[in-house]
Amino acid sequence: MNRPPLQAFYKLLNTITLVAFLLILFSFRFSGHISILSPIAKLSIAVHFFAFAAWIGALYPLYRLTFVEDLDFLQRTMKKFGNNAIGIVLLLIVAGVLMLLELFHSLEEVFTTAYGIALLTKLFLVVGIFAIAGLNKLRLTPAIQAEGGALAMRRSITVEAIVALLILVVTSYFSTIVGPADHQM
């Protein structure tokens, strides 16, 4: 008979995840163009990273939930996540704006540098993922109990995960390959 893991397993898993997260944040202090920024910008990247990880990290468990037979439970869980996601989105936006204010000295840099173009690509994808999240919260969650509602949510979460992956790829590109013109390491 299969039993779910004990609570101690989840505590250990959460501890390992927290240590890994802190090591990643600590590494920003020593490498990449972020390493030369102010403490506010470093805090902003940490908050931005944490908020993104919290949101995107929830996608797979939410996807798995779309297979449950208890549609009331699924709907309550999606509603709760959607309400919590509002705070996550606000953290992402505030932290992102604070970073941008330090990384760019003029609006022209956004449109004339490789870093700026990559950032615009990321922002385009971010608007897309926000639109998907809005669709999930405002249309698909209320319709979960309708015929095909869980399947529609599952498909939407899949698309959201693909867009999140693209955001990670673009972010990796502009945070490691290119950097702001005046941020020489």
Instruction: Look at residue 25 and tell me if it is in a domain.
Output: no
Instruction: Look at residue 66 and tell me if it is in a domain.
Output: yes
Instruction: Look at residue 11 and tell me if it is in a domain.
Output: no
pLDDT value at position 166? 95
**Domain holding 106: CATH number?**
1.20.120
Distance of CA 18 to the CA centre of its chain: 16
Give me the mean pLDDT over the 101-106 stretch. Answer: 83
Please state, in angstroms and rounded to a whole number, the distance separating the CA atoms of residues 149 and 147.
6
Instruction: Look at residue 77 and tell me if it is in a domain.
Output: yes
pLDDT value at position 86? 93
pLDDT value at position 30? 60
Instruction: Look at residue 14 and tell me if it is in a domain.
Output: no
In the structure encoding, which two tokens stand for residue 7, read together?
A: 């609570």
Distance of CA 112 to the CA centre of its chain: 27
The pTM is what?
0.80
Quick one: CA torsion of 33, 39, 45, 51, rounded to 10 degrees?
170
pLDDT value at position 127? 96
Residue 115 clears pLDDT 50, i.e. is over it: yes
Instruction: Look at residue 99 and tell me if it is in a domain.
Output: yes
Local confidence band at 1 (pLDDT 50, 70, 90 cut-offs): very low
Q: Dump pLDDT digits (tens) for 127-178.
A: 999 999 999 999 999 999 999 999 999 999 999 999 999 998 998 887 777 7
Instruction: Give the dihedral sign, CA 27/163/58/50.
Output: positive
In order of 40, 84, 172, the CA distances from 185 in angstroms are 19, 38, 17
Q: Dump pLDDT digits (tens) for 16-25.
A: 877 877 777 6
Instruction: Look at residue 59 and tell me if it is in a domain.
Output: yes
Please state, in angstroms and rounded to a whole number, the distance separating the CA atoms of residues 27 and 35.
9
Please state, in angstroms and rounded to a whole number, the distance separating the CA atoms of residues 54 and 50.
6
Q: Dump pLDDT digits (tens) for 78-87.
A: 999 999 999 9
pLDDT value at position 81? 94
Task: Give me the domain span that covers residue 93.
Answer: 36-177
Residue 180, Ramachandran bin (φ over 0: left; ψ between -120 and 50: alpha; else beta)? beta
Q: Degrees (nearest 5) of the Cα angle 46, 166, 39?
A: 15
Number of domains in the chain: 1
Instruction: Look at residue 1 and tell me if it is in a domain.
Output: no
Local confidence band at 33 (pLDDT 50, 70, 90 cut-offs): low
